[in-house]
Structure 1
Amino acid sequence: MPIAMARHILVKTAAEAEQLKLRLEKGEDFATLARRHSFCPSRKRGGDLGEIRPGQMVKPFENVVFRKPLHQVHGPLKTQFGWHLVLVYLRS
């Protein structure tokens, strides 16, 4: 069974996600921005979600985690929880 490791930043608007993505593209640290801006409890861990297996996340999020390239920020991605920026850093 595949396993992935990912971080995310969860915010309420697409505009906020776009602004954070620009900051990430300029070199700001993902974990630092997650701690400051995400409203997910994972913010305490810099947005780290730990091990993710298929079926644990909502489908749009899971599609990014298991299908998009590693070590790139993906999103903004809309789910019923809000707007995500996702960084997948390990997949097996």
Structure 2
Amino acid sequence: MTTASARHILVQTEDECNALKERINAGEDFADIAKEHSTCPSKAQGGDLGQFGPGMMVKEFDEVVFSAGVNTLQGPVKTQFGYHLLEVTSRED
């Protein structure tokens, strides 16, 4: 079974998500921004969600995590929880 590890930042608006994406693309640290801005409890770990398999996260999140390139910033991804910036940190078949 394929597994992946990812980290994310969850915010309530698409505008905030895009603004944070710009900051990360400009060189700011993903983990620092997650700790500062994410509304997910994973913010304490810099947004790290650990390792998981398909179907363990909401559908929209899964689709990106199991198709996007590793170590590339993705988002905004809209889910029932809000807007996510995410980065796949590893994926294994």
Q: TM-score, normalised by structure 2?
A: 0.97
Match for residue 7 of structure 1?
7
Distance apart, 1:37 and its partner CA: 0.1
Runs of 5+ in structure 2 lacking a partner?
Answer: none
Match for residue 65 of structure 1?
65
Count of matched residue positions in the alignment of Structure 1 and Structure 2: 92
Instruction: Find the aligned partners of 1:26 and 1:6 in 2 and give their Cα distance.
Output: 20
Q: Which runs of 4+ in 1 moved over 6 A?
A: none
Runs of 5+ in structure 1 lacking a partner?
Answer: none
SS of 1:67's partner is coil
Instruction: Find the aligned partners of 1:62 and 1:6 in 2 and give their Cα distance.
Output: 10
Matched, 1:24 2:21: no
Identity of aligned residues (%): 53
Deviation string, structure 1 residues 13-70 (Cα, Å, up to 9, x no partner): 0000000000000000000000000000000000000011111011110011100111
Q: TM-score, normalised by structure 1?
A: 0.98
Distance apart, 1:86 and its partner CA: 0.4
